[in-house]
Structure 1
Amino acid sequence: MFRTALAAFLLAATPAAAQQLTPQETAQVDAIVARALQSTQVPSASIAIVRDGRIVYAKAYGDQGPGIAKGPSTDAKYPIASISKQFTAAALLLLEDEGKLRLDDKVAKFFPDISGADKVSIRQLLSHTAGLQDYWPQDYSFAAMEKPVTPQEIVDRWGKKPLDFEPGTAWQYSNTGYVVAGMIAEKASGMPLLDYLNARVFKPLGMKPVDQDLAIGKGYPLPTHRFALGPVRPAKPAAHGWLWAAGELAMTASDLAKWDIARIERSVLTPEDWKEQETVVSLTGGGSTRYGLGVSLGEHGGTPEVSHGGEAVGFLSSNVVLPEKRFAVVALVNADFGGAQDAITDGVTNLFFPVAAAAPAQNLNQVRDALARTLYDQLRSGTLDRAMLTANANYYFDATTTGDYRDSLTALGAPVSIVPLGGPRLRGGFVNRNYAINFADRRLIAITYAEPGAAGKFEQFIVMPGE
């Protein structure tokens, strides 16, 4: 069913809009996508890149399936699934601006029969801190999803179960909470949720999303999945209604990039609303959720990062925005396996804003070995940091001792290596570690004792000739 990878990439669509990337950057981006698709066997991807607040690159790759006659096409709309949550949250922020609700209103004001309605706030629904049990934790369609469902039916089955925890005390992803939030938005606005978003968000931004339940067949990418390492197979979407306010939208990568630009420019929503969406919600005990209102919050190389992923049957998506850098990247794929979408957004983000890999954490012995090398170098140069020594060691290293260490060791120059001899041993309340200090033509031995722990002071550091 799917063309070979080579043929698919040769058929990749021409980049849309003005080409703002250098030829080298274009080649690097294409290579990132090619590696992600080839290593995972994901059939296709559609991406968009925002730089300096503008869409500078949009391209589709691979095999989008038989519904795309002249694919791959950047015009193909992919379900973005849970990335839709930030739009549901935006609707409620706008309704608050209109005076039709407050985010700290209790659910009971609108739907008193929801579990914990008198304790759960709208803000807690949007931040996954309400305690409502998630109706779709699985990464596959369960039996009930063979049949269409309404938001009320979802709420009747899952939204009236006992809360999983006291509201505000924990964070637990809940699609159920977003269905309730969508119902509140419709009740407060008097409009279907998608109609409200079209009027207030999508049309002003020139976006043309559709209900993902309708994004099936001709003109749309084919959803796919795999069982273990088996062949890539067409996936059967869930019946109508199962994603709704928790993930109801399908759109192009460029459409989602337009929303990212609005976030960067602080348009459509007020700056205060954007800030509220991007503020980490804290738990009542003081812990951080690393989540705002429909968005995950983190950092990339020290700069704030706003992101979210999405999963529908046969599709995955990733959206990453660095507002302070005026940068964003979108990756949509027609497969619910493999993680190609994250490999693409991570790779492209790191391409334009590289972050040095964090050095692996040192274990205790490595820390102590480094301190031993530091102390040896101090003795060799005559610049002893006495804060590293116990009172006894400071007594030992008097003027005569430090002078002899400095004069004799300086003449040897820097050692080729300082290598531990054996492992650490306890003795007299101290930890004994011994070292071979190697030079090109000779070896010294250091016999050390130190207080336990990474910051333990040295009780002894005696250097003597080796074999």
Structure 2
Amino acid sequence: MRQQVDALGIKGSILVIKNGKIMLNYALGNNTDTSYLINSVQKSMTAAIVMRLVQEGKLSLQDKLSQFYPQIPGANKVKIKNLLAMTAGLDLKPGTKLGRKHFISDSDNIRCDAAKTIFEPHLLNKWHYSSLNYVYLCGIASQITKKSYERLFRQTYVRPLRLRQTEFLWSKPGKIIASHLVPGMIYRKGRYDVVKHKAALKDAHNELGAGSVVMSNHDLAKVIHYLLVGKLLTKKSRMLLYRAGPPAYYNGGFYNNNKLQTKTANGAGQGYYTFMRSTNNAQTILIIQSNKTREGEFDQLKGQINQIMLELLGRKARSANMFG
């Protein structure tokens, strides 16, 4: 197994848990407690915060987006369940990006996003991936609880799980240092260029619940276990949150494979990779993170890591394409 992981050529941290026990825990170029920007893997945590509100009766999966943001095109047709499953038919106008050039506040960013949002009716109830869905979910959760997304995240995960290497990218320097974050790097023209913190910070604010948190492998594994078998959500809530269909079988921040009984999440951006694979019962988990990336290699690595997970599960190679 280690030879297979090392053959990927990834410089970062690797954690393999099989049948509830640590099988591999090592690092190449960094340390086992190094933290990385997890990018889209954070969506699974945002989704669970929203589902907890549903579980508590403060929100319904059938509620319309218009109850919270009536100014958004198509909001009277889009439901909370659509946002969670990326089937809302929402996207940004061509040529525009999430947020604004200079960050003011989360709510201001969402107002700016709303003004740039388009609704495509033919995509309603069809899978169309866009982080915009999860930015709106953050705003909805904040409206209901009267708390910032960051505060909700800390109350839901950081404090109860005693996470030690988890922080928001915009946290104070001392906290970032304590999280053991390493800078993201992208290989260009024969060398690795460090991604400027200012640029990464801007994107983190704009992505909010979809790419603003740094975590170590151990912290991420703790959270995945908490999401899938912990006390945060009931069995019924998890069933509703992770119910998904073709083509992507995506819901609740995960690609859900019913045949293999697995959850998959990937993150890439600002010079970081995060690859997470877990069985539905969180007994077997594979996490690989890196801060040294190359343009064009993400999909290739994703496929190779899928293969490693299949072998970890004792499955045949031909099933590798069944992961997200």
TM category, shorter: 0.7 to 0.9
Measure the CA separation in 2 of the matches of 1:136 and 1:54.
Answer: 47
Question: Alpha-carbon deviations, 1:341-400, whole Å to 9, x = none?
Answer: 6367435413422333339xxxxxxxxxxxxxxxxxxxxxxxxxxxxxxxxxxxxxxxxx
**Contact 2:44/2:253, CA 8 A, preserved across alignment:** yes
Q: Secondary structure at the match of 2:152?
A: helix
Measure the CA separation in 1 of the matches of 2:195 and 2:262.
Answer: 32
Report the equivalent of 1:182.
Answer: 138
Cα gap change, 1:263 to 1:327, in 2 (>3 Å) = farther
TM-score, structure 2 normalization: 0.83
State the number of aligned residues.
Answer: 306
Report the equivalent of 1:203.
Answer: 159
Measure the CA separation in 1 of the matches of 2:93 and 2:37.
Answer: 19
**Which of 42, 45, 67 is 1:87 aligned to?**
45
Q: Secondary structure at the match of 1:112?
A: coil
Task: After TM superposition, list the pairs within 5 Å mapping 1:8-407 onto structure 2.
Answer: 28-29=1-2, 31-37=3-9, 42=10, 44-62=11-29, 72-134=30-92, 147-148=102-103, 150-160=105-115, 161-166=117-122, 168-208=124-164, 209-214=166-171, 218=177, 219-227=180-188, 230-236=190-196, 237-240=199-202, 241-280=205-244, 282=245, 288-298=247-257, 302-323=259-280, 326-337=283-294, 338-339=297-298, 342=302, 345-358=305-318
Q: Secondary structure at the match of 2:76?
A: coil
Greater CA drift, 47-56 or 80-89: 47-56
Report the equivalent of 1:449.
Answer: none
Question: Alpha-carbon deviations, 1:168-202, whole Å to 9, x = none?
Answer: 33211111111111000111111112222222333
Cα gap change, 1:266 to 1:124, in 2 (>3 Å) = same
Larger RCO (alpha carbons 8 Å, 6+ apart): 2
Hey, which bits of structure 1, 4+ residues long, moved more than 4 A? 134-138, 142-146, 215-218
TM-score, structure 1 normalization: 0.59
The one-letter code of the counterpart of 1:327 is T
Q: Secondary structure at the match of 1:204?
A: coil
Measure the CA separation in 2 of the matches of 1:213 and 1:135.
Answer: 27
Measure the CA separation in 2 of the matches of 1:197 and 1:143.
Answer: 21
The one-letter code of the counterpart of 1:171 is W
Measure the CA separation in 1 of the matches of 2:155 and 2:13.
Answer: 26
Once superposed, what is the RMSD of the aligned Cα atoms? Answer: 3.0
Measure the CA separation in 2 of the matches of 1:270 and 1:189.
Answer: 20
Cα gap change, 1:76 to 1:346, in 2 (>3 Å) = same
**Contact 2:87/2:128, CA 8 A, preserved across alignment:** yes
Measure the CA separation in 2 of the matches of 1:143 and 1:213.
Answer: 17
Task: After TM superposition, list the pairs within 5 Å mapping 1:426-465 onto structure 2.
Answer: none
Cα gap change, 1:233 to 1:137, in 2 (>3 Å) = farther
**Contact 1:78/1:221, CA 8 A, preserved across alignment:** yes
Cα gap change, 1:81 to 1:136, in 2 (>3 Å) = farther
Shift of residue 230 of structure 1?
A: 3.0
Runs of 5+ consecutive residues of structure 1 not aligned to the other structure: 1-27, 63-71, 360-467
Shift of residue 117 of structure 1?
A: 1.6
Q: Secondary structure at the match of 1:104?
A: coil
The one-letter code of the counterpart of 1:244 is L
Cα gap change, 1:223 to 1:104, in 2 (>3 Å) = same
Report the equivalent of 2:322.
Answer: none
Shift of residue 146 of structure 1?
A: 6.1
Runs of 5+ consecutive residues of structure 2 not aligned to the other structure: 320-324
Question: Among the aligned pairs, what percent are the same residue?
Answer: 21
Greater CA drift, 163-172 or 178-187: 163-172
Measure the CA separation in 2 of the matches of 1:106 and 1:178.
Answer: 15
Cα gap change, 1:297 to 1:73, in 2 (>3 Å) = same
